[in-house]
Structure 1
Amino acid sequence: MTEPKSRRRGAELEHAILDAAWAELSEHGYARFTVEGVATRAGTSKPVLYRRWKGRAELALAAWDHRVPASREPIDTGSLRADLVLLFTRISRRAGAMMNEMVAGVMADAFRYPEVADLLRDRLTRPSSLTRAVEDVVARAVARGELPPVRLGLRAARAPLDLVRNEHITCGQEIDEATIEELVDEVYLPLLRGLAVG
């Protein structure tokens, strides 16, 4: 085993590894993405990476989260529709930064490796900054009287991401404003109204 090339620790080392992982993904794609390649580029060893991430899928997703963090800015335009258009636009920009080949590769790994399927299931079944943003947008619309009280479960709160991700994977390109408006007007607003309580 070779000695790590530097004595970086903590956040500094983690940033270097995630930057190296993103560079490897960008240059080689997910099919040729390896933990060994990331370790070499980051100037560290494979065991250092495996102490933080279980495998290449988890490392690739962590690199994407690091490179394109979810926006923390609250969405409050004063209108439910405008809030949703802005929310879908933010999701689309973030999803657009993730290479479709990487998405396909991680999903293929999920079919072959149970631990990758568990990783994806965990990411999709827990509350996140996105689902909290959707809940906040809906709560403000209810408070303004634009929506009746609704029962917003996790799947419904996650639906904007699912809709946008499906468009990106299916079409393989940036989603335009007209498509975002169609998703909001023809799919998500009717869904929210259908979730009215009582």
Structure 2
Amino acid sequence: MSTAQRRRGAVLEEALVEAAWTELNRTGYDGFTIDAVAKAAGTSRAVLYRRWPNRAALVHAAVRAHVGSIADVVPDTGELRQDVLATLQAIADRIVLVGIDVMTGLLSELAELPEALATTVPDVFERIVRRAAERGEIGTGHIPDTVLQMPAVLVRYEMITKRTVPDVEILVDELFLPLVRHHATN
């Protein structure tokens, strides 16, 4: 008679995240439930709730495990425009990979996610802009958070409402860079 090995720690968490990813791909965000993930992982809801306080947090963990974060690799091409384009393309690619419906579901429950998540995009764009200022490409004036958030918000909006990847060059050339240059002027 063999006894099943009880999963713990990182092994258990990986199994839970994998079960969540599988369930998310099977049902989409609307059909995703903690109960179904617990059943698929062969565990209880309590085990999941000890790690993630709600379904949005669990979905975010599964998404992050499979597509990473834009903060993981911030482009550094040596040119502000190219860095911004590469970052926006990475955001759009992640949305496509995860699925627009899943992203829409997550955004609808943004208040359920860690507060630090809301600063990820502006932090990435702030790093890109700071490097451009250090290279002398732009001035060193303060860029408001609303400007730093804007390109990613517009990409998400276009993808959610029009169900297509927007022309990121227009967003960068006609909106973001003029605003950055305006604010960065000393």
TM-score category of the 2 structures, normalised to the smaller one: 0.7 to 0.9
Listed one character per residue, the Cα deviations across residues 5-64 of structure 1 (whole Å, up to 9, x for unaligned) are 751111111111111111111111122211111011112111100111112122112211
* Residue in 1 that maps onto 2:112: 119
Residue 69 of structure 1 is matched in structure 2 by 68
Q: Equivalent residue for 1:145?
A: 136
**AA matched with 1:182:** I
Distance 2:141 2:124 in 1: 15
How far residue 121 of structure 1 moved from its aligned partner, in angstroms, is: 7.7
Question: Whole-Å Cα distance in 2 between the matches of residues 185 and 41 of structure 1?
Answer: 47
1:188 deviates by 0.8
Task: Please state how far the C-alpha of 1:147 moved relative to its aligned partner.
Answer: 0.8
Q: Is the 8 A contact 1:24 1:37 kept in 2?
A: yes
Match of 1:192 among 163, 180, 183: 180
| Partner of residue 87, structure 1 | 87
CA deviations over 1:82-126 (Å, ceiling 9, x no partner): 111111111111122222222333455x4xxxxxx532582554x
> Which amino acid letter does the alignment assign opposite residue 33 of structure 2?
T
1:180 aligns with 2:164: no
Which residue of 1 is the match for residue 160 of structure 2?
Answer: 169
1:28-43 counterparts in 2 under 5 A?
A: 28-43=27-42
1:93-108 alignment runs, 5 A limit = 93-108=93-108
Q: Tell me, in whole angstroms, the C-alpha distance in 2 between the residues paired with 1:149 and 1:31.
A: 44
Whole-angstrom distance in 1 between the partners of 2:48 and 2:113: 19
TM-score (norm 1): 0.81
Regions of 4+ moved over 4 Å:
none
Identity %: 38
d(CA) in 2 for partners of 1:132 and 1:124? Answer: 10
- Distance (whole Å) between structure 1 residues aligned to residue 21 and residue 48 of structure 2: 14
Once residues 10 and 122 of structure 2 are traced to their aligned partners in structure 1, the CA distance between those partners, rounded to angstroms, is 27
In the aligned structure 2, how far is the partner of 1:135 from the partner of 1:36? Answer: 39
Structure 2 CA distance for aligned equivalents of residues 135 and 107 of structure 1: 22
- State the superposition RMSD in angstroms: 2.2
TM-score (norm 2): 0.86
What amino acid sits opposite 1:64 in the alignment? Answer: V
Letter in 1 for 2:176: Y
Q: 1:53, 1:59 within 8 Å by CA — same for their partners in 2? A: yes
After superposition, what is the alpha-carbon deviation per residue over 1:118-169, rounded to whole angstroms, capped at 9, x for unaligned? 32582554x32x4333222111211222111131233333223212211211
- Does structure 2 conserve the Cα–Cα contact (< 8 Å) formed by 1:6 and 1:43? no
- 2:88–2:151 contact (8 Å) kept in structure 1: yes
